[in-house]
A and B are shown apart, each in its own frame.
Chain A
Amino acid sequence: MKSRQSALFIHRFICYSVMVILFVLAVVPIYLLLINATRSTAQINEGLSLIPGNNIAYNWNALTRRGFKIQQGFYNSVYLAFWMTLFGVYFSAMTAYGLHVYRFIGRRFLWGLILLVMMLPSSLSFIGFYQFMARIKLTDNYLALIIPTIASAGTVLFLRQYLSSILSMELVDAARIDGAGEIRTFNTIVLPIITPALATQAIFSFVGSWNNFFTPFVLLSTESKATLPMLVQKLRGDIYRTEYGGIYLGIAVSIIPILIFYAFMSRYIISGITMGGVKE
C-alpha cells in the first residue's frame, strides 16, 4: 500500500514538473515582450531583465516618429474586424436558418457544398481572387475583405448544428400565426435564441480577422488603410534596426488587446473551440 502511495506521489511530481515547464514556456516569450517594450535599447543590450523599465514613452515616440501610425492601424483593424464579424455572423445565421427550416429544391446540394468548401485550402482561390479584384478595381478597398465573409462555410456549419439542437418549430409557427413575416420571425425570435452560438462565432471571427495578415497585406496598398499586422510587418525594416525597445512595443501593441480580451473570456473561448468541432 505504501509503495503504491509513493508511486502516485512520484507520478504527480512528474506531472506537475512538466506542467510548470510548459507553463513557463508559454508565458516567457510574452513576458519578455512586455518587459522589453518598456526598456530602452541600451537597457535591452545590457542583458535580460524580468523587471520593467521606464522608457515606454521614449519607445512610443521612437516608433511613431518613423511613420508607425499605431492609432490609425488600431482603428483600421477594429473597423475591419467589426464589419467582417457582423457580416459573417449575421448572414451565416440567415443561411443556417434557411437550410434548417425550409424544404426547398437544392437544399441538400447547398449543404453538401458547404461541407466540401470547408475542406478546401484558402490558397486555392487566392490568385484568381486577387486578379478578379484587380480587374473590378477593388484591390485597395475594404469591401474586398468584408463582402467575402458573407459566405463563411464554417460559421454556417456551426450555427446549423446549434439550431438543430435548440430551435423548436412550435416557436416559429407561433410567431407565424401571430402574423410575423419570415424575416421578422428570424430577426426577433430566432436570433435572440441562438445568441450564445452567435457570440462564440463572433469571438472567433473577430480574432481571426484581427490576426489576418496576409490578405490585407496583398490587397491594400494605401498606407492609411494598413491594419495592425501590416504595420507590425514593417518592424522588420532597416529604419527600426537600432530601436529594439520600439520594435518590442510595436509588437506588443498588436498583442495586448487579445491578451486583455482573453483574460476575461478564456473560459468561454475554450468551451467554444469544441462546441462545433466535436459533436456530430
Chain B
Amino acid sequence: MKQKAVSTERRLNRWGYVFVLPFLLVYFTFHFYPTVYTFILSFTDLRGLRSDFTLVGLENFAKLVRDPYFWGAVQNTFIMWGFNFAPQLGIALLLAIWFSDLRLNLKGVSLFRAVIYMPNLLTAASVALLFRSLFAYPIGPVNQFLQNTLGIYREVVRDGQVIYEAFNFFRNVTASRVIVAFIQWWMWYGHTLIMLMAGITSISSTLYESALVDGANSRQTTFYITLPLLRPMMLYILVTSMIGGMQMLDVPFLLTDMRGAPDFKIRTTSVYLYNMAFQGRNDYAYAAAISIGIFVITIILALLIFFFLQDRSELKTHVAKASEKKGGKK
C-alpha cells in the first residue's frame, strides 16, 4: 500500500518537467545560447554584411581597454546616472519620511504619489522626443518661458556688440547631461518613493510606539529607527538602479543625434554598443566585446557596493539565514 503511494507521487512529480519544459526550451534557445554566442563573437572578427568569421583571440578586448570612446561612454553613463540617482534617493527618502510621520499627518499623499509615479510608465522613447521638443532651439517652450516670462536670454558678444539669443541646450555638454539626468530622475523617483514607503510600512509599528513612550521626537525616530532599518531597501534600490543605469539607452539615444551629441558627451555605453553594431561598420564582434565589458563593470560595481555598504553584522545574519533555509528545506 505504502509502496503504491510512493510510486504515485513519483509519477506525479514527473509532471514537473512538463510544466517547466516550455520555459527551459525557450530559455536555452533564446536567452542562454545568445549569451554564449555573444561571448564567442567577442573573440571573432564578425563585421559588416558577412556571416562568416574567424577567431582572433583577445584582439577586441585589447582594443576595448584602450578605446578612449568606450571609457568616455563609461564616464558619461556614470555622470548622468549619478546626477539622477543622488536627487532620486534624496528626494524620495525625504518624502517617504514626511509621509510616514504621524504627527505631520499630510493629506493627499496617495494622489500625489500616483501623479509623480506616472512618468515611469510612459514610453521612454516618447519622453525623449518630448523633452527634445521642449528644449528645442530657438523657439522651444523652455526658451519661450525663459524669454517671455522670466526675461532670461543668452548673452553673446559678437563683433563687440552684445546680442541676446535663445539657449541652444543641446550644444552645451553640461546642459545636455543635466537634461538626461533630469529625465531619468523625473521618470524614476516616484518608483523609488513607493519602494521606500513600502519599506517603512514593513518596519514594526511597536518600535515607533515604544519610542513614542520613551519620549523620542520625530528626528530621533527618523535617525535611530527609520533610516537604519531602511538600509537593506536602500541598498536594493542602489544596486537595481545601478544595473539599470548601466543600461541607459532610449533617452540619451533619441534626445540628440543617436550618437550622443554634443561631442559624444551624452553617449552611454549602450548607445556606443548600438553605434558599433548597427551603424557604420556594423562591427558586431567589437559590439559583443563592449557588452561583455559593460557586464564586467556592472558585476564589479555590484560586488563593491555589497562589500562596502553592507553591514558586517547584516552580512552574517544573511549568511546564517541562508544556511538555515538550506538546512530547513532538506
Query: Which residues on A are within 8 Å of B, measured CB to CB?
Result: 8, 11-12, 15-16, 18-19, 22-23, 25-27, 29-30, 32-33, 36, 44-45, 47-48, 91-92, 94-95, 97-99, 101-104, 107, 110, 113, 117, 119-132, 134-135, 147-148, 150-151, 156, 176, 182-183, 186, 207, 210-211, 213-214, 218, 228-229, 232-233, 235-236, 244, 247-248, 251, 254-255, 258-259, 262, 266-267, 269-270, 273-274, 277-278
Contacts and interface: CB of A to CB of B under 8 A. Distances in A.
A123 B139 contact: no
A103 B12 CA distance: 9
Interface string B92-118: 001100100001101010101111111
B48 to A, nearest CB: 12
Interface of B: 12-20, 22-24, 26-27, 30-31, 33-41, 46, 51, 91, 94-95, 98, 103-104, 106, 108, 110, 112-119, 121-126, 129-134, 139, 141, 144-145, 148-149, 186, 190-191, 194-195, 198-199, 202, 233, 236, 243, 246-247, 249-250, 253-254, 270, 273-274, 277-278, 284, 287-288, 291-292, 294-295, 298, 302
A150 B23 contact: yes
5 contacts: A117-B27, A148-B30, A233-B254, A270-B114, A277-B236
B129 A233 contact: yes
Contacts of B106: 12, 15-16, 19
Contacts of B270: 123
A151 B284 CA distance: 25
Contacts of B292: 124
Given A128-B38, A132-B37, A26 B119 contact: yes
A254 B12 contact: no
A147 B278 CA distance: 23
Nearest to B114: A266
A23 B112 CA distance: 7
B194 A274 contact: yes
Contacts of A19: 95, 106, 108, 112
B134 A98 contact: no
A189 B241 CA distance: 38
A128 B250 CA distance: 20
Contacts, number: 262
A249 B271 CA distance: 27
A209 to B, nearest CB: 11
Nearest to A25: B186
Q: Which 9 A-B pairs have the closest CB atoms?
A: A98-B19, A102-B16, A128-B37, A128-B38, A128-B34, A104-B16, A129-B34, A213-B125, A274-B198
A129 B123 contact: no
Given A148-B26, A214-B249, A229 B34 contact: no
A128 B41 contact: yes
A151 B30 contact: yes
Given A15-B104, A123-B270, A182 B123 contact: no
Given A32-B134, A182-B15, A273 B191 contact: yes
B20 A126 contact: no
Of A124, A183, A207, A270, most B-chain CB atoms within 10 Å: A124
A251 B122 CA distance: 11
Given A129-B34, A213-B123, A236-B254, A29 B130 contact: yes
Given A15-B98, A48-B145, A255-B126, A131 B37 contact: yes
A48 B129 CA distance: 18
A11 B20 CA distance: 55
Contact of B284 (A127, A213, A277): A127
B170 to A, nearest CB: 12
